[in-house]
Amino acid sequence: MPRRPNVVVFLVDDLGWQDSSEPFHRERTPWNDRYRTPNLERLCRAGTKFTQAYAHPVCTPSRASLLTGMAAATHRATHWTLRQDTPTDPQRHGLLRPEWNLHGLSSEATTPRAFHAPTLPMRLRTVGYRSILVGKAHFGAIGTPGADPRQLGFDENVAGHAAGAPSSYLAKNGFLRNDKDTVWQVPGLERHHGSDRFLTDVLTDEAIAAAARARADGAPFFLYLAHYAVHTPLDADARFVQRYLDAGLPEAEARYAALVEGMDHSLGRLLDWLEAQGIADDTLVVFASDNGGLSANSRGGEPHRHNSPLRSGKGSLYEGGLRIPFVASWPGHVPANATSPQPVQLEDLLPTVCGLLGLDAGAVDGTSLAAAWTGGPAAPHPLFFHHPHYWGSQGPGIEPGSAVRDGDWKLVWFYRDARAELYDLAHDLGETQDLAAARPEVTARLRALLRAHLQAKNAQVPSRADGTPCALP
């Protein structure tokens, strides 16, 4: 193999499947006309976009899966983390929360209620890569080893800590909304405090500078640029927001659209730098989101509709909470201007990158897509989701459950009332018609498939008030 390529993972927080001017649906929708993402369009022309890509319903599980290649049922960091020994999932409707890994990931096997496994940067380090994290980490709780990305294999960490959102995007405020909000204050950017800069742009500066240092030292780099955008708070990015206000969008939606455009502007700056350095052809770029788009709260307009035709949004086991935009580009290796309908998910990324680089991925839950990415036949595989928690907001599918997609069939199992729902995604993308009763043979097959997965992983599930575990599918 020639010199190992640089690897860039450009991860956006809470970006929905419809939150771009590039359609990931089979047809354009009004959502695609609302947003301006010319650089995401540019990346799609340079590589392959995956129209059926998936994450987990909320952030920490997705990030843990991306970094380790493990399914949520394996790593058990199945909800978002923050403080040591403090669960973030509410208990409702007589269900008790499961015993999940609320400390997230750890570099130490002895950390209680945390998961320990070789990470992607650890694997890349063995062949000389410099791994750089810029932006949101959210891998481990405050006071645990996983709160520091350098404990998880990254050589550099800029602005990553235990919290999963910024207190403020505004440097003039010191990235702090108020003095009581310090746990959410983005760290390590003090030299920008008091300026008129916006967080998304500052992180782009830092990412390019860190990659340039690695390049100057002659090291291939793994750059994990994980933007806090487009997570709340919906602060106004003054560079872009006025155009959306002038278009008549409600203020919350104008601010959201400006966050999207600011993220895309960052992508463009990074792609421009790669080209200016003459290394664009020697760099694998992966673009993804960590869960479906926010729709239950903080947005303008009707809740749970911002990802339509998908149902619901972030926090939900319906498609709106799981399906994400996903693009891979590596000139001369990954087909250009191509579209793939192959279902993929974030835990596939580690074995795929290892496969493309000729590395051993070890024993992981994800499936390497390296052969398919480089023009070989696709290898379809079932996708599993495990989120046995209530989230802060409520809405369709936002409740403790697990799900499996196999081919075009998707089964969702809800623990509260031991209910199975079955959908044919090829003909009912919006999950409007539950076919569980009409297609009992498919329902039984997928229930057995999901049950076997959960049992094999010894997956944690909620309990009834009397301590009895809820039934598996």
User: Tell me: the pLDDT tens digits for 339-397?
Assistant: 999 999 999 999 999 999 999 999 999 999 998 888 777 778 999 999 999 999 999 99
The pLDDT value recorded for residue 56 is 98
How confident is the model over 189-216, as pLDDT tens digits? 999 999 999 999 999 999 999 999 999 9
Provide mean pLDDT across the span 441-463.
98
**Any residues with CB less than 8 A from the CB of 307 and at least 6 apart, and which?**
16, 17, 18, 292, 293, 295, 313, 319, 320, 323
Q: What's the CA gap between 206 and 200, in Å, rounded?
A: 10
Contact (Cβ atoms closer than 8 angstroms) between residue 387 and residue 105: no
Note the pLDDT tens digit of each residue in 13-36: 999 999 999 999 999 999 999 999
Domain 386-464 has CATH 3.30.1120.10: yes
pLDDT at 335: 95
Instruction: Tell me the average pLDDT across 75-104.
Output: 97
Between 180 and 391, the higher pLDDT residue: 391
Hey, do 6-379 and 386-464 end up sharing a CATH topology, with the first three levels equal?
no
> Rounded to 10 degrees, what is the CA torsion of 203, 361, 24, 169?
-20
- State the pLDDT confidence band at 330, using cuts at 50, 70 and 90: very high
All structural domains of the chain with their residue ranges? 6-379, 386-464
pLDDT tens, residue by residue, 398-439: 999 999 999 999 999 999 999 999 999 999 999 999 999 999
Closest CA to 5 of 289, 359, 369: 359
Number of other residues whose CB lies within 10 A of the CB of residue 350 = 28
**CATH number for the domain running over 6-379:** 3.40.720.10
State the pLDDT at residue 1: 44
Cut 0.85: pTM above it:
yes
Judge whether residue 3 has pLDDT over 90: no
> Does residue 222 surpass a pLDDT of 90?
yes
Q: Work out the mean pLDDT of the chain and round it to a whole number.
A: 96
